[in-house]
Homo-oligomer: A and B are copies of this chain.
Amino acid sequence: MKYFVTGASGHLGQRVVKQLQQVVENGDTIFAGVHNMAKDKLFDGQSVQVSHLDYFDEGTIDQSFQNTDVLIYIPSITYNLVRRVQEFENVLAVAKRNQVGSFIFVSFFADQVNNPFQMSPFYAYVPRRLAGSGLKYAYVRNSLYADPLPPYLPELIERGHLIYPVGDQPLTFISRDDSAKAIAALATQPTMRDHGQSYLLSMTRNYNMVELGKLMTEITGHHIGYQPVTVEEFGKIYPNEGGAELASMYAAGGRGLLAEVSDDYHRLTGEDPTGMTEYLKDHYQAK
């Protein structure tokens, strides 16, 4: 079996490649699709083949996808919507031409019909396109990554409160490590994929900001309450992190559209995902 992972040098992609190596069988090959080949060193010492993949250079896609049994498509992080659609269309065209055996799309759960997140149209577009493509496919919908929370704790201790502009609505999280583990499980278990299945990757419960602040208080020993700013203020406080995109995401959160929870992680792995308490403890104490 040939597994091909796109976006393999990204935060999630690296972890997917690592997890795949844990679960593939002897004789299987793992290909890591990398845009910036300066990053190929990331895979030194791993049983992985690196393949140059530029979503806008069809030759590189074509060469990458040859004889691929399972393609794990992790989209680029461009926030230009039409460009992201075109990127996917390029990937799909070559996947069809090369008769890729199984297409796994790594999506995001902000895809509801009334979701104001800037990229929600893309996350709705792709599964429908796959449904009409003739390819075998499945997709995972990630919830919010928990990974940025631990490094954010020192700032929160100083502020004394969370400021996410989501009011009384809860948010759902998953760690990138767990997401990658579930994706690798999906890729390597044919019974779980190939029929348009959808999996929401999330912890087993969500947290409103009162709950999250309380948990952070317990773990850090510093009081962290909740004093929300507006969506606009939030965008101005963190302009470098992509203010407008983040703002549209928290606008979705404030409408209760980032609160879905499921048992799908357990369905795919037979294990419970890491919970927020454990995740924060492990990564706060590690500092």
Chain A: residues with CB nearer than 8 A to chain B?
81-82, 85-86, 89, 111-118, 120-122, 124-129, 131-132, 196, 198, 248, 251
Contact = CB atoms under 8 A, between A and B. Distances in A.
Interface of A is mostly: helix
A125 B128 CA distance: 10
Nearest to A110: B128
22 contacts: A81-B89, A82-B86, A85-B85, A85-B125, A113-B127, A113-B198, A114-B196, A115-B131, A115-B132, A116-B131, A116-B132, A117-B132, A118-B132, A120-B128, A120-B132, A121-B125, A121-B128, A121-B132, A122-B125, A124-B128, A125-B125, A132-B248
Contacts of A117: 132
Nearest to A120: B128
Contacts of A81: 89, 129
A60 to B, nearest CB: 20
A273 to B, nearest CB: 23
Nearest to A196: B114
Given A89-B82, A113-B198, A131 B120 contact: yes
A198 B113 CA distance: 10
A244 to B, nearest CB: 10
Given A82-B85, A85-B85, A121 B113 contact: no
A85 B85 CA distance: 9
The 3 residue pairs across chains A and B that have the minimum distance between CB atoms: A116-B132, A124-B124, A120-B128
A85 B128 CA distance: 14
A212 B145 CA distance: 51
A113 B126 CA distance: 9
Contact of A111 (B85, B114, B128, B251): B128
Contacts of A86: 82
A251 B126 CA distance: 18
